[in-house]
Amino acid sequence: MPVEARLSIRNLSVSFGSHRALDGLDLDIQPGHIVGLLGANGSGKSTTVKALSGLNPVEPGATITLAGKSFGGADLDPVESRRRGIRVVHQEAPLVPDLTVAEAMAIHLGFPTTSGFIRWKALRQRSLARLAEFDIAIDPDRLCRSLSAAERALVSLAIALGDISVERAVLILDEATASLSTADASRFLAKVRDAADRGLAVLMVTHRLPEVRQHCDEVVVLRDGVSVATFTRETFDEIDVVHAMVGPTASQEHEASHEPTSSAGNALTVTALSGAGIDEVSFTVRSGEVLGITGRSGGGASELLRLLGGIDVPTDGLLELNGEPIVVRGPREAIGAGIFYISADRLTEGGVATMTVAENLVLPRIERYGLGRTRAAEDVARMMTALDVRPPDATVPFGSLSGGNQQKVLLARWLLLEPRVLLLDDPTVGVDPNTREVMFRTLRSLADAGTTVLLRSSEPEQLARLCDRVLVVRDGRIVNELTAGTITTEEISLATYA
């Protein structure tokens, strides 16, 4: 007999004004199954998660059946959603830095008390037991600020399921692995699979197709708020999935990586660079080269780009651009030298959420336009068209855009200034495959025109596809360099995590 679905959704719709963000979604998740929910930015994935979490109001007519009990979507609010067994692990784990792991767990799950006093020994023992249930070896007395991204994700998993049996719960992973390395994501999802094998039902929202292929039993693809395709483990094919996500009119061309010509000069020379997380790093990058930078989380790959971009200040070392020494003690000096940095944190270190798209695009060199608003408008429109920024309205707030479109705006901002060196710190985190294709084509075009590109990525597949060389950074030093035939997903993964 077929197993009854843990979660069954019928006719789930959500609208914002006249815009229908989710249109009549039907979805079933069986106990023990991991169902992937895929789609381009703006397809309705986040709307679905927020609807099930009780954050987005659901239109009348929706029916949700959870563990055999049916109710209307309008009955959900955040407290009721959690009470009924829907739990969410988000991309950014909401852990207070100055609390211990045990205290952070207790904030969500409650403190054991006697006569109004917290029983600290009992709290520690309970926290150890909840972590052990998912085979998580983390000391509950550690401060949350000391946790790596992977450890934060694991603690969030224990918090989400800490007060409910896996046989009753539905776990939603909302881009939970986006900030993790490939290896850390695999370890995290292995814990989730273990819980699914014990009866947990899982809805996994992600943009990482390889992890979908490895871990999901079924895949549902959304486009423009509508479910357009379903794949099983046996029928899953990345090309077919991407076609379903982006639609029949989207270009699927893949740009081939190239080897810079031998006549290309050394655009950037780094000698004995030291600073936060970096210890006497030296390398050169040629004009028109795409240099990959990778390594384990916290090992120095991201820190290296931050030093080069002036976000952090070097303590020692020499930088030369086309043979001329340069001094970079801050972002202004880096920009003045033609070195532009795009952070993985789009809102904190990228754009200004409350400013319009147009204002964000011209912000770094607003003085170049003076009173020439027509020229500024023309440049903004040109860049928005070139990078397919959606919606194509430069007057909307930057913060209202999806993550992928925010990243397009940040890239367009630097393209206006014709970069000599472009530094990208994991630019495709939380970005849909179609946006990735736009960014990849743009980066290759920039390199072909002579721009030097340094790309840090936590995904070996991206590095293997785009880069002419790959440097592996560990413990603040370059420990490996991959060239030519050794730039493969397997070799990059081995060099990074072995």
Domain ranges of the chain: 7-95+147-246, 266-497
Q: Which strands form 266-275's sheet, in the order they lie side by side? A: 278-286, 266-275, 316-321, 324-326
Please give the sequence-ordered ranges of beta strands (E in DSSP) within 180-315, or none if there are none: 201-205, 218-223, 226-232, 266-275, 278-286, 290-294
Give me the pLDDT at residue 231, please: 96
Cα(228)–Cα(209) distance, integer angstroms = 17
Which fold is adopted by the domain 7-95+147-246?
A: Rossmann fold (3.40.50)
Phi first, then psi: give them for residue 100, nearest 5 degrees. -75, 165
| pTM of the complete model | 0.62
266-497 matches 7-95+147-246 in CATH topology: yes
Cα(265)–Cα(229) distance, integer angstroms = 48
Give me the pLDDT at residue 41, please: 67
Cα(268)–Cα(450) distance, integer angstroms = 12
Burial of residue 114, with CB atoms counted within 10 A of its CB: 0-12 exposed, 13-18 middle, 19 or more buried: exposed
Give me the pLDDT at residue 497, please: 60
Tokens of 93: 């784990």
Ranges in the chain, pLDDT < 50:
1, 249-258, 261-263
Give me the pLDDT at residue 104, please: 93
Give me the pLDDT at residue 295, please: 86
Give me the pLDDT at residue 91, please: 76
The CATH number of the structural domain formed by 266-497 is 3.40.50.300
Is 54 within 8 Å of 78 (Cβ atoms)? yes
Name the 3-class secondary structure at 292: strand
Give me the pLDDT at residue 180, please: 80
Give me the pLDDT at residue 307, please: 97
